[in-house]
Amino acid sequence: MRGCFSKDMYLVAAQTGGPEDALTTAEYPASASFVDVTGYEWVNIIVHLGAINASDTPTFKIQQSDSISGTMDTIDTVYCKKVAAHTDDDQALMFYLETSQLDADHHFITVDVSGVANATYGDIIYLLGGARDRPVTQSTTLVPTDNQFIKAG
């Protein structure tokens, strides 16, 4: 089962309210729930934008911390940040981060969102890959066992 998504990669949804929430100026996920990338070689972060209010300039920064509820630190201002335009409705932003690029002892990440005061919508999903221990165990709240389908020889 090489490349089996549900067994090789771990899925984390950043929002707790459901898909395509109205975004606020906040960290996704919030402090005390930052994504722990320990044991993974890389992470893809996908931000699927919905409707963007014409008055907003949504900014998305991938940040790092040394604890699940610690102070966030900048990783990189070029490859880990995107300022979207109000004309970017329904587009996806894709960030790729090798966990070896994080500062020493920093293995928690989040997406810091700003510039969204007027009902801009989006989903933020983390895909952690290169797991040290496989198969990975998905959160049964997000991906119940009966929602994982595998046809393999």
User: Is 129 within 8 Å of 43 (Cβ atoms)?
Assistant: yes
Q: Residue 73, Cα to own-chain centre: how many angstroms?
A: 16
Q: Which domains does the chain possess?
A: 5-134 (2.60.120.1110)
Q: Pairing state of beta strands 108-114 and 35-36? A: antiparallel
User: Is 90 within 8 Å of 133 (Cβ atoms)?
Assistant: no
Instruction: Please state the pTM of the whole predicted model.
Output: 0.92
User: Is 41 within 8 Å of 101 (Cβ atoms)?
Assistant: no
Average pLDDT of span 35-48: 96
pLDDT of residue 2: 60
pLDDT of residue 43: 96
CA distance 121 to 137: 29
pLDDT digit string (tens) for 87-106?
999 999 999 999 999 999 99
Average pLDDT of span 23-46: 96
Average pLDDT of span 3-28: 83
Which residue type is seen at 100? S
